[in-house]
Structures are given as C-alpha cells and as structure tokens.
Amino acid sequence: MNDTATATALALTLERIHGHRTRFDARFERYFDTLGDRLDTPLPSRFAPRCLELLRELSMRGGKRLRVVLLHEAARLVTTEEPPGLAEAGLSLELLQTHGLVHDDIIDDAPLRRGGPSTYYAYRRELPGDLPAALGLAVLAGDLAAFLSMQVLLEAEVSAELRQALLAVQIRTAAETVAGQIADLERDTLGDPDEEFLHAVTDFKSARYSILAPLTMGLLAAGEDPAPHRERLHRYARLVGIGEQMHDDYLDLFGEAEQVGKSTGADLRAGRRTYAVNAVLDCVRGSDAALVEAALGDPGCTDATISRIREMARSGGADRRLRAEIRRYAAAAAAPDRDEAPPPAPARADRKDRPTSG
C-alpha cells in the first residue's frame, strides 16, 4: 500500500472511530435522560437522584470510549449493519467502566478524574462533616453503576440466547476485574513485584474488561461465535492492555496534570509499584534510590520531590526505556500469529545496591 492509500485508509478509520464515539455519546445522554423515570427510587430521597447525577457527570465527562470503538469494530468484522444488542452492549461496557472509576478513586483516595472531581470527592465536598457518609455514598454509587450495566443487557430487545451470552461475558468480566483489583492491592504489599506479577494484574484488572470483553461482545452481537477465537483475542487484549497500562503509568510520572486529567505523581505518593515506578527504581542508586523509596507511599510528598524524581528518571533513561517497551508491546499485538509474548526485554538492572522499602 502506497503512502496515499495508507493516509486515505487511516483518515477513513479515524472518521469511523469518531462516528462510533459521537453516536454513542448521544445514546448515552439519552439513556441518562430517561434513567430517572425508569429507575424506581424512594420519592422523598434527595440522595438517590443526586447519585444518578454524579454517575451521569462522570460517565459523560470525557473518556476515550475505547471499549465502544472496539465493540463496533469487532461487529464490523462480521457485518456492516449495527446488529440488535450492540447499542446495549456499549452502554453496559461504559456503565461498568463508570463503576470501576468510582471505586478506583475511593481505593486510591483520588480527588480528580477526567479533569473534574471524582465521585468520592464530590460527596466529600457536599458532606464535609460526615466522611463515613461520603464514603458510603461513593461506594453505593459505584455499585449502582455495576448493577445498571447488567440491567441494560437484561432489557435489550434481542433473543434470549444472545441476551444470556452477553450477560455471561459481562458478569465473568466484572468478577475477573474485581479479582484483578485485589491483586493490584496485593502488588503494593510485595515490596519488589516482578514483571510477570505486574502483567497478571494488568491482564485481570484492565485488559479483559477494556479489550477482550468488547471484542467478544461485538462478535456475539453480530452473530459470530467468539469461542474459536478466544485464545487469539485474549493474547491481543493482554498485549495491548500491558502497553496501555505502561502508557498510563508513564503519564502519571512524566505527563502533565492537564493532559492526564488527574494529579501527576499519584502512584508514587500512593506507594504503587507500577511499571513506571519499577523503571525508575531500576535506574537509581544510593541517595537517589533512597529519595524514591522515601517518596513511595508518602501522601505528603511535595511537587518539588516528584519533579526531582522525574528528572532523575529522565537522566537515567527510564522514560526512554518505558517508551521502548510500550512500542514493543504494540508491535507484538499487531502480529497476532506470533509467540504468546513479545521478545524478552533487556535484562533489568540489578537493584542490590539500593535500599529496600519498609
């Protein structure tokens, strides 16, 4: 394919992706417009409608709609028409995403999400004298989003067989995602988790629900049995998921708050042993390593210290190595018939000379 043909194909793909997102956002707006009328809530309650408002605000506030795009592109492999059930599958996927964001921000004590207040911190501002109530309401808001994600599939006007198949995927995905979140919290207790543990966390916590589930549900809605393709789909989802998680971790340390939509350096302050944090630890020694270890898990770590760590990481080449890893996983995902994993990365630097945490 020559450069002109490539550019044309890319332009058409981007236009199609934009269309998926635009149509979905309009559909999501309509869903929330009528949700209050369809959901039975206690009439005297002020908190119940406020919960729906906060879920709507978070759901409609930005977001790449990656799951929606993958869902539609998977269906497009089978049919050029939008099959019944695809719209409901998209709503279900994004509602489950909202559930995950609400609960992630509680676990991470994160004030910002998608350039605005997290649901947890919105409640904290509205109930400044009652932190337990704010926490409880945020937990329940996340729970409600998860239940709504299942309800929308139950209400889909499709065959019972397809409805059951879509629900089975989504319920399994939700359970696996929670298992991944549990392992994510475990990771930060290990002190020095190896790369395979990070990969397993990423697979369960994000790759399966962000990539594998949309691809599987798109094929199902289009009438294709995904079972024969599951191994290849999972391999692709895992490789893309790892690359995307590395990119997110990279932005948390090396990005700008305006670009990321939340505070940078949050992973260091929370003591998270992410791909980026591991890359930094691999390139520092002595007093520099001690500075990183001291910052890990210190919620009061200053912006100046984060900036210092960022500069040390850049001087040690951590940012370049992490970008190279991101490209490596992207290339492996684009070659779906090759080995299970990309070629091994260069050997990790020996950390024996740096102090351990704790």
**pLDDT value at position 358?**
39
Q: Is 151 exposed, middle or buried (0-12, 13-18, 19+ CB in 10 A)?
A: middle
Distance CA 311, CA 95 (A): 38
* Better pLDDT: 56 or 346: 56
Query: What pLDDT score was predicted for residue 166?
Result: 98
Instruction: Give the chain's end-to-end CA distance (angstroms, integer).
Output: 56
The pLDDT score that the predictor gives to residue 258 is: 56
* Percentage of the chain modeled with pLDDT above 70: 91
What percent of the chain has pLDDT above 90? 70
Name the nearest CA neighbour of 252 among 234, 238, 266.
266
Beta strand 112-113 with 116-117: parallel, antiparallel or unpaired?
antiparallel
- Relative orientation angle of helices 213-221 and 230-254, to the nearest 10 degrees: 140
pLDDT at position 188, please? 84
pLDDT, residue 338, reads 57
Please give the angle made by the CA atoms of 235, 238 and 244, to the nearest 5 degrees. Answer: 140
Sequence-separated (6 or more) residues with CB below 8 Å from residue 304: none
Q: At what angle do helices 195-202 and 275-282 cross, to 10 degrees?
A: 160
CA atoms of 303 and 305, how far apart (whole Å): 5
Residues 312-342 pLDDT 10s: 999 999 999 999 999 999 999 988 665 555 6
How do residues 195-212 score in pLDDT, each as one tens digit? 899 999 999 999 999 999
How many CB atoms within 10 Å of residue 336?
A: 11
- Check whether 36 has a pLDDT greater than 50: yes
pLDDT of 357: 43
> How do residues 248-283 score in pLDDT, each as one tens digit?
999 999 987 656 555 678 889 988 899 999 999 988
Please state, in angstroms and rounded to a whole number, the distance separating the CA atoms of residues 141 and 325. 36
pLDDT of residue 105: 94
**235 vs 333: CA distance, rounded Å:** 8
CA triplet 316, 319, 324: central angle to 5 degrees? 115
